[in-house]
């Protein structure tokens, strides 16, 4: 296998790190990558949606497999573009096509799919500008808080949770009439609020069979105690202590299996990773959202727990040999804590020199850049400190000790990753 990974986050570093141990550095390329990914393969300075240049690079370098890390290239149709081109149609793109990618890029598409498959999720209706009044009436039938979701991709900002009916009506109008989130809010999903604790499960699939990967919980808010603005993710833990055998069974029977079966049934051309964003309500898992790729920072804790070969799973998916099963993983806890730039997720400065004074274990890079012999910050989320431990506490202690050996101006991180899980 000669593989090109698309992306530049700690997720892509974790994937490249795993693959390096299986197929060797000389067979791994990352576009555009970061200062960590180049330790596991070769960085290629091409944007993830620059399909013409990606194709040229693949043909010149005998790339046979592409693994898109983020949703960006999938939603832009990377698979369709390669498959519709005679020169590149034999390159295996391990992702859904653009239509199937709507499971993430369109909330309305995803909700309709769940409804058809009888998959537990919040009750909802979709509205457009010409049905704004019906939207108001639907809001009146719900009890607070109210959940409004821009249909399209809105950089993680398109979901509003509002406590008063008046506010909810006003926001619905703003989204539909004034396109508050641009074209993403030309259509809005209004849904029932679900009260519970969130977690995620992941599957690798060829569209028919799947391997269930370890579950994880991420921490999205900037502030401790889950306060403040949403971020790309401040930390993650795997396994999830409240994910009992009973919840696991319900998740498989009610969510994972009907989702995978739904692909064929509804002509959804799916392969790659499925990210099930779930919420546990009174002991029952429900789907909050699908993503059509792995999570970040969840990947940074799932991948280190995986005992199986990731490249073999991808090869099996390519050859139609994938067998439905639960992935073999180590029982250790994995935790990751992100060091972020001061000011993130709002304004922050790049270009701060990073000092790392330890014989580093697994430090996954995100917003980092090498200039000559120095390492500098190059993004809001900078480094993910992943560690394993026999207990949640052991793993967390190691992650925080590892972060103690990292330093850059204005570096911050959450000190409470995993604390809420200690009561389970």
Least distance in angstroms from the C-beta of 384 to ligand GLY: 12
Which two tokens mark 44? 């290629």
- Member of 108, 147, 237, 256 binding ligand AMP (CB under 6 A): 147
Which DSSP helix (H) or strand (E) runs through 173? helix 165-177
Asked if 14 and 75 touch (Cβ cutoff 8 Å), the reply is no
Q: Give me the phi and psi of 306, to 5 degrees please.
A: -75, 120
Residue 298 sits in the site that holds ligand GLY (CB under 6 A): yes
Number of residues that bind ligand GLY (CB under 6 A): 6
Contact status: 296 vs ligand GLY (CB under 6 A): yes
Q: Show contacts with ligand GLY in window 208-237 (CB under 6 A).
A: 218, 233
Q: What tokens does 195 get?
A: 């009260």
Compute the distance between CA of residue 361 and CA of residue 364 in angstroms, rounded to an integer: 9
For ligand GLY, give the closer residue by CB, 215 or 218: 218
Task: Enumerate residues 6+ apart whose C-beta is below 8 A from 176.
Answer: 127, 128, 129, 132, 135, 185, 186, 188
| 255 close to 274: Cβ distance less than 8 angstroms | no
289 binds ligand AMP (CB under 6 A): yes
Stretch that binds ligand GLY, among 175-183, 242-250, 295-303, 356-364 (CB under 6 A): 295-303
Which region, judged by CB under 6 A, interacts with ligand AMP, from 92-100, 189-197, 326-334, 357-365? 189-197
Which range of residues in 178-186, 190-198, 254-262, 328-336 is near ligand AMP by CB under 6 A? Answer: 190-198
Q: Identify the three-state secondary structure at position 325.
A: strand
Stretch that binds ligand GLY, among 170-178, 293-301, 336-344, 363-371 (CB under 6 A): 293-301
User: Could you tell me the two tokens for 338?
Assistant: 């992100």
Which positions from 230 to 249 touch ligand AMP by CB under 6 A, shown as an x/- string?
Answer: --------------------
291 binds, among ligand GLY, ligand AMP, none (CB under 5 to 8 A by kind): ligand GLY
3-state SS assignment for residue 243? coil
Residue located via tokens 């010409």: 130
Binder to ligand AMP among 277, 356, 389, 397 (CB under 6 A)? Answer: 277
State yes or no: residue 122 binds ligand AMP (CB under 6 A): yes
Calpha distance 419→396 (Å, rounded): 9
Residue 324, both tokens? 């439905």
Select 206 or 289, whichever has its Cβ closest to ligand AMP: 289
- CB neighbour list of residue 98: distance below 8 Å, 6 or more residues apart: 74, 75, 76, 77, 79, 80
Interface with ligand GLY, residue 68, by CB under 6 A: no
Task: Give CA–CA dist 142/300, Å, rounded.
Answer: 38
DSSP helix/strand/coil, 186: coil
**Per CB under 6 A, 281 contacts ligand AMP:** no
Residue 296 makes contact with ligand AMP by CB under 6 A: no
Q: Which residues sit at the interface with ligand AMP, rule CB under 6 A?
A: 122, 147, 149, 159, 191, 193-194, 198, 277, 288-289
């Amino acid at each position: 296998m000669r593989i090109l990974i698309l992306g530049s986050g700690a997720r892509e570093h974790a994937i490249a790190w795993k693959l390096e141990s299986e197929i060797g550095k000389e067979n791994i390329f990352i576009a555009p990558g970061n200062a960590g990914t180049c330790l596991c393969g070769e960085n290629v300075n091409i944007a993830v949606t620059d399909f013409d240049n990606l194709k040229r690079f693949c043909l010149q370098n005998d790339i046979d497999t592409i693994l898109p890390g983020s949703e960006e290239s999938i939603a832009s149709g990377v698979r369709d573009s390669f498959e519709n081109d005679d020169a590149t149609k034999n390159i295996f793109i391990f992702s859904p096509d653009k239509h199937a990618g709507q499971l993430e890029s369109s909330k309305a598409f995803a909700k309709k799919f769940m409804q058809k498959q009888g998959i537990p999720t919040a009750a909802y209706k979709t509205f457009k500008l010409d049905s704004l009044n019906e939207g108001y009436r639907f809001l009146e039938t719900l009890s607070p808080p109210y959940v409004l979701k821009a249909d399209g991709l809105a950089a993680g900002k398109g979901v509003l949770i509002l406590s008063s009916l008046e506010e909810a009506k006003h926001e619905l109008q703003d989204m539909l009439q004034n396109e508050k989130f641009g074209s993403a809010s030309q259509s809005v999903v209004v849904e029932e609020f679900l009260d519970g604790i969130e977690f995620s499960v992941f599957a690798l699939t060829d569209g028919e069979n799947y391997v269930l990967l370890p579950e994880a919980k991420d921490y999205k808010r900037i502030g401790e105690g889950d306060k403040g603005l949403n971020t790309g993710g401040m930390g993650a833990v795997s396994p999830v202590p409240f994910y009992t055998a009973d919840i696991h069974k319900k998740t498989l029977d009610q969510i994972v299996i009907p989702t995978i079966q739904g692909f064929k049934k509804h002509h959804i051309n799916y392969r790659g990773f499925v990210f099930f964003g779930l919420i546990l309500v009174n002991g029952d898992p429900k789907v909050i959202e699908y993503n059509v790729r792995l999570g970040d920072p969840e990947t940074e804790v799932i991948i280190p727990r995986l005992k199986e070969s990731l490249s073999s799973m991808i090869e099996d998916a390519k050859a139609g040999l994938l067998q439905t099963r639960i992935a073999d993983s180590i029982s250790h806890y994995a935790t990751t804590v992100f060091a972020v730039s001061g000011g993130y997720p709002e304004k922050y400065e790049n270009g701060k020199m990073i000092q790392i004074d330890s014989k580093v274990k697994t430090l996954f890079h995100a917003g980092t850049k090498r200039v000559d012999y120095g390492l500098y910050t190059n993004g809001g989320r900078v480094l993910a400190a992943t560690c394993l431990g026999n207990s949640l506490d052991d793993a967390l202690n190691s992650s925080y000790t590892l972060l103690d050996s990292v330093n850059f101006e204005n570096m911050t991180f959450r000190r409470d990753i995993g604390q809420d899980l200690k009561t389970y």
